[in-house]
Structure 1
Amino acid sequence: MWRFGVNTKGKSILIVEDDHKIRQLIKIYLEKEGYDVWEAGDGKQGIDMFERYDPCFTIIDLMLPEVSGEEVCKWIRTEKKSDSPIIMVTAKVEEKDRINGLRMGADDYITKPFSPNELVARVETVLRRTENRCNKISFQGITVKPLKGEVNFNGTKLFLTNNESKLLYMFMKHPNQILSREQMIEELYPNVEKDITNRTIDVHIRNLREKLEQVDAPDCIKTVRGMGYQFVAF
């Protein structure tokens, strides 16, 4: 039987940083590595963005306007009750500051100035260590939570059938790979003895595309003539 492969990308990351240049630099490096990135310029916006998008990972600057980074971290851990991994970013270099950050619930702590490559490496290290804490996958604002059967685009819920959700998750687990209709039939109907035709898959794909189009989601699902379909993530 054909099985899903393991893909370390498809993770959504929220950057809460008031310095626009630093925020954009981090975003560029993370997106280059295949992560879905959202931005917030202050602590209040960071809380609002976390509430809306429920990211897999959060990078938080401690010195933020409106609401401090410490309060954002505290809100994520105590009010939201989320164990989403967190990296604290700050110009403070004292050991006590690093310890306080970790005690607040951060998974790692990095001081400014830092190399964007080092930050990306730290993100990947924390994600490997906390892989089971992110039960969702995201690409270009489309997020699927397979355990809950929930799908949304930039916070807007999509009402998909079970098979449509499974197909979308299958595509997103294999970005940029061509998947055959036979693979999709095997995934959706593993224990069905009666014949399921390729036409059934085509109908599922058509309906899925229409529902994504209704919320102005990117047209990511491409038809590859004679081979199947491809989810073009980047």
Structure 2
Amino acid sequence: MAKILVCDDDEALVSMVRFKLSRENLGEVIKAADGREAKALLQESDFDLVITDIHMPFHSGLEITTFIRNDLGKNTPIIVLSAEGLENTVLQAFEIGANDFITKPFSPAELAVRVKRILKK
């Protein structure tokens, strides 16, 4: 079973993601409520996928992506979430190593399809 880290300070969103991914049998969801907690969990354990919001306390999703790619040197797949769909933000996320970008609000079914696609690679 896949181990998925969801980094977001929106408890309702994390609950929705956890419900949808577990219902689709896509993996175990571990939550990080902020960037500091995300970094600690990433140093302690390996994950099959990271889903991170851009705007979080302490460290942004872009900083988390950079941390995974540069500091940890891992190729863990990363999906970046953001209510901000600005082209430069999307491009920056991909430039630093994100595998996918989803603009909020999003459909839980769309997220599940994207997670399935990434986990099958």
Q: Do they fold alike, i.e. is TM over 0.5? A: yes
Paired amino acid for 1:68: S
1:76 counterpart letter in structure 2: I
What is the aligned counterpart of 1:25 among 16, 40, 44?
16
Equivalent pairs, count: 120
Structure 1 unpaired stretches of 5+ = 1-9, 130-234
Q: Secondary structure in 1 aligned to 2:73? A: coil
Give structure 2 stretches of 5+ with no counterpart.
none
Q: What does residue 110 of structure 1 align with?
A: 102
Q: Of 71, 84, 109, which aligns to 1:79?
A: 71
Which one has the bigger helix percentage?
2
- Give the match's secondary structure for 2:63: helix
TM normalised by structure 2 equals 0.95
The AA in structure 2 aligned to 1:75 is F
Q: What's the TM-score, normalizing by structure 1?
A: 0.50
Cα distance in 2, alignment partners of residues 49 and 24 from structure 1 = 19
- Shift of residue 108 of structure 1? 0.3
Runs of 4+ in 1 over 3 A off after TM superposition: none
Superposition RMSD on alpha carbons, in Å? 0.9
Find the aligned partners of 2:56 and 2:108 in 1 and give their Cα distance.
20
Cα displacement (A) at 1:53: 2.3
Q: For the pair shown, which has the larger CA radius of gyration, 1 or 2?
A: 1
Determine helix, strand or coil for the equivalent of 1:39: strand
1:70 deviation in Å? 0.9
- Residue 7 of structure 2 corresponds to residue 13 of structure 1: no
